[in-house]
């Protein structure tokens, strides 16, 4: 029984380290984007959640022109599809 407990503990420890490493990397890459909290509100509900912050690591920013306005489009790295577009109000 003692070796089974040790094996389970070892497996859980390794899984925990992988999970921690994954979350740490996502936080690091999200932080390195230098997006403001307002920019990271991907669903535009007025608040930035923990998951929106994590999603920032997989989102890029590019300039687009819409109706002769210079806008910023945020897009997913995985497929290039736009997530949100922000244009100046004037």
Do 70 and 89 touch, CB atoms closer than 8 A? Answer: no
Do 8 and 1 touch, CB atoms closer than 8 A? Answer: no
For residue 2, pLDDT over 90 is answered with: no
Q: What percent of the chain has pLDDT over 90?
A: 71
Q: Would you tell me how many other CB atoms lie within 10 Å of the CB of residue 30?
A: 19
Do 7 and 49 touch, CB atoms closer than 8 A? Answer: no
Q: What angle do CA 34, 36, 38 make, to 5 degrees?
A: 155
Q: What percent of the chain has pLDDT over 70?
A: 99
């Amino acid at each position: 029984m003692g070796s089974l407990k040790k094996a389970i503990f070892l497996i859980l420890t390794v899984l925990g380290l992988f999970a921690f490493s994954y979350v740490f990397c996502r936080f690091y890459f999200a932080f390195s984007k230098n997006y403001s909290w307002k920019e990271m509100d991907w669903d535009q509900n007025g608040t930035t959640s923990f998951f929106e912050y994590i999603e920032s690591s997989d989102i890029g920013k590019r300039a687009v022109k819409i109706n002769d306005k210079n806008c910023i489009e945020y897009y997913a790295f995985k497929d290039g599809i736009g997530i949100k577009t922000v244009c100046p109000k004037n």
